[in-house]
Amino acid sequence: MDDAGQLELFQQWFSDSIPHNKALGLKVVAVRKGFASMRLEWREELVGDPETGVLAGGPLTAMLDSCCGMSVATMLKEPKPFATLDLRIDYARPATPGKAVIAEAECYRITRSVAFTRAFAHHGDAKDPIAAAAGTFMLGTKGEVTRAQSIGEEAIGSETKI
């Protein structure tokens, strides 16, 4: 599958068909094995401090959670339901009002039961982060596997492509 096809597939299943991600307007901007990147546009509804226009922490939390989850999906050799076990977020500095936020997540280790991820959120310069995240995911949780959880192998393939 070519890069544009992959992006479209992940956009469809990790944003457009997940109601909260769709409501936030998350855009999938990059995906490859072990890596996922999303973009969130600034908008008034997402502001936490009306006096400064700074985004609330919540939209960043939701984006980082989703982006980490998407990086896990790219690593799965077979479809498996998974869920966030814990997520830590360090808020390095306030987001700049009016600017879009980019999240970049890496799944650096996956075992049979747990996947480990790290992520940063920034305005385009990864060296100047707004937030850093560490998320772990439990694999093989109850329930049916969702389409989002099953597209990794199909879109990325089992061979490493970095």
Partner 1 sequence: MSAQRERMIGARKSGDVARLADAIPYAKWMRIAPENGTGELLTRMRYHEQLIGNTFLPAIHGGTLGAMLEMAAIFHLLWETETETVPKIVNITVDYLRSAGPRDVIAAAKVTKQGRRMVNVFAEAWQDDRSKPVATANAHFLVKSADEPPAL
Provide the binding-site residues for partner 1, judged by CB under 8 A: 17-23, 44-51, 55-59, 61-66, 83-91, 143-144, 146
d(CA 64, CA 31): 14
d(CA 99, CA 148): 28
Beta strands in 82-148 (DSSP E): 82-91, 101-110, 114-122, 131-139
d(CA 75, CA 110): 7
Comparison of 7 and 136: residue with beta carbon closer to partner 1: 136
Comparison of 44 and 78: residue with beta carbon closer to partner 1: 44
Comparison of 7 and 62: residue with beta carbon closer to partner 1: 62
Q: Tokens 């700049």, residue?
A: 96
Sorted by sequence, the CB contacts under 8 Å of residue 136 that are 6+ apart come out as 84, 85, 86, 87, 114, 115, 116, 117
Comparison of 29 and 85: residue with beta carbon closer to partner 1: 85
What's the closest the beta carbon of residue 3 comes to partner 1, in angstroms? 26
